[in-house]
Amino acid sequence: MGGGRFYGPDFELLEERDPELARVLLDEVERVRGGVQLIASENLTSPAVLAALGSALSDKYAEGYPGNRYYGGCEVVDRAERLAVRRARELFGADHANVQPHSGSSANLAAYAALLQPGDRMLAMALQHGGHLTHGSRANFSGRWFDVVSYGVRRDTELIDYDEVRDLALRHQPKVIVCGATSYPRLIDFGVLRGIADEVGAWLLADAAHPMGLMAAGVIPSAVPYADVVTFTTHKTLRGPRGGAILCTDELAGRIDRAVFPFTQGGPMMHAVAAKAVAFGEAMRPEFAAYARQVIVNARALCDALAAEGMRPVTGGTDTHLALLDVRGLGVTGAEAESRCAAAGITLNRSAIPYDPEPPGVTSGVRVGTPCVTTQGFGPADLEKVGALIGRAVREPEKIAEVGDEVRTLPVIRQAYLRQY
Ligand code: PLP
C-alpha cells in the first residue's frame, strides 16, 4: 500500500504497543479506499485536520471560554479557540461563533436551551420528510421536552410547502422555527422563512449541518444573513473534524455561550476545537470553493445516472451534495438496495422518502452524497460509471461479485487508494 496517513512514527508506535487496535485502523483505511463511499454526511479529512485531532491539545481541560477558564494553564489552548472563533466568524460572516459543541446534536441541544424553556413550542421539519432526529422526533430529547409542530413537503412536488409552514406558524405561534434537514436535496428559501418568523415573532434557527461546507464556499446561498442562530456540524461537506458549532447574532451571543457551557456541556475538546480552526482555514482557500462546486456537479451526475437506471430522484433532482432516490421502480426496498450495494463495495444508506409507506428500518429510498468521492478526485464521468454499477448491483444480485470486481478496479479507485486523503 503506497503512502498515506497511517505510516508515520506515531502509527508505528501504536502498531508496536497495540497491534490489535492498529489493525482496526488499517482495516478501516482499506475499507474506505477499496470501495465507493457515498454516505452524504461523511467526508475524508485532511492530514492537517487529523494532525490537530491527534495532538497534545486532547489532554487539556479548559471549561469556560478564552480568557475566562475554570482551569489553569489554558493560555495556549485559548489561542486555538480564538483562532477557530475568528475564522468561523470571517468564513461565514457571523457576529458570533461558539466552536465548542461536541456534535451537531449537542449544538441543537444548546441552541434550543438558549431559546426555549421545556414545554415551549417549536415548528420544525418532520423526520419522515427529511428533518433530523433533533428536530422533534419523539425518540429524541427534542420531541420529549418541547411541544413540536411539524411541517413537511408537498406530495406533488416533494418540496417544502412554505404555505403550510406559514399557516402552521400563524396557527400555533411557535417560539422557534427550525429549518434545515438531513435528506432534502434542494435549496431552502431562508428569506421566506425569515419573513414567516418575523410575522409570528419567532426565532429562526437554521440547522445547516449538511450544506455548511457549500455555504462556506459560497456555492449555495448561506443561512447566516437570515437566521438568528445557525447550528452546524464540521464533519460533513465542511470536511473538518467530527463536531458541531453555532453561529448567532450579537444579541444572542451570551445566551448561546451559557447554553453550551455550563448548561449542556463541561470541558470542550480542545483538540477538536483546534482541528475545527484548521478546517475553517482550509475552507477559506480557493481550492475549497472549487471542491464544493465539484461536489454539486458530481451529485447531479450521480443523480442523473441513477435516474437512467430506473431510480426516481425525489423532487426531480438535486441542488446540493446529496440526492434521494425512490427505488421502488426496481422492485426493491431501500434496505435491499443498501445491502446489495454494500456487497458490491458501494456504501450508501437507505432513507425514507416523503410519504414513504415502509417503516424506517426498511424504507423505499436510498440517499447518496458526493463529499467523500469528490475529495478522492472523482469526476462526473466516474460517477456515471458508479451510477451504472449501482443499477446493476441492485437489479442483478446474482452478479454482485462481478460488480464488486468492477468497483475495485475503477481507475479512480486505484488512484484514490494512493492519495493522501
Ligand atoms: N442536524 C442535521 C440536519 C443532521 O443531518 C445531523 C447529522 O446527520 C445532525 C444535526 C446531528 O449531528 P451529529 O450526528 O454530529 O450529532
Name the nearest CA neighbour of 32 among 385, 337, 373: 373
What are the sequence ranges of the domains in the chain?
Answer: 53-283, 287-414
Long-range contacts of 352-361 (CB under 8 A, 24+ apart): 352/127, 352/128, 352/183, 353/158, 353/314, 353/324, 353/326, 354/128, 354/129, 354/130, 354/152, 354/153, 354/155, 354/158, 354/314, 355/128, 355/155, 356/128, 358/333, 358/334, 360/128, 361/335
CATH number, domain 287-414, options 1.10.3470.10, 3.40.50.2300, 3.40.50.970, 3.90.1150.10: 3.90.1150.10
CATH number, domain 53-283, options 3.90.550.10, 3.40.30.10, 3.40.640.10, 3.50.30.60: 3.40.640.10
Tell me the pLDDT tens digit for each residue of 233-257. 999 999 999 999 999 999 999 999 9
Judge if the beta carbon of residue 313 lies within 6 A of ligand 1: no
CA distance 99 to 274: 10
Bridge-based pairing of strands 322-326 and 346-347 is: unpaired
CA distance 302 to 7: 33
Question: Which ranges of 173-262 does DSSP label H, i.e. alpha helix?
Answer: 190-200, 212-216, 253-258
Name the nearest CA neighbour of 129 among 314, 312, 299, 319: 314
Res 2: pLDDT: 35
Name the residue with the closest Cα to ligand 1, atom 5.
182
Tell me the pLDDT tens digit for each residue of 66-108. 999 999 999 999 999 999 999 999 999 999 999 999 999 999 9
Judge if the beta carbon of residue 236 lies within 6 A of ligand 1: no
* The three three-digit cell numbers of residue 318, written as one number: 438535486
Task: Assess contact for 396 and 341: CB atoms under 8 A.
Answer: no
The residues carrying an active-site annotation are 61, 63, 207, 233, 236, 242
The pLDDT confidence band at residue 1, using thresholds 50, 70 and 90, is very low
Ligand 1: centre distance to CA 135 (Å): 10
pTM of the model: 0.96
**What is the pLDDT averaged over residues 268-297?**
98
CA distance 241 to 103: 10
- Quick check: 419 pLDDT over 70? no
Q: In which residue are the cell numbers 443499477 written? A: 391
Backbone angles phi, psi at 233, to 5 degrees: -100, 155
CA atoms within 13 A on the CB side of 72: 0
Task: Assess contact for 198 and 190: CB atoms under 8 A.
Answer: no
The pLDDT confidence band at residue 414, using thresholds 50, 70 and 90, is low
State CA 243 to chain mean position distance.
10
Res 383: pLDDT: 97
Res 415: pLDDT: 62
Judge if the beta carbon of residue 137 lies within 6 A of ligand 1: no
Tell me the pLDDT tens digit for each residue of 388-398. 999 999 999 99
Tell me the pLDDT tens digit for each residue of 114-150. 999 999 999 999 999 999 999 999 999 999 999 999 9
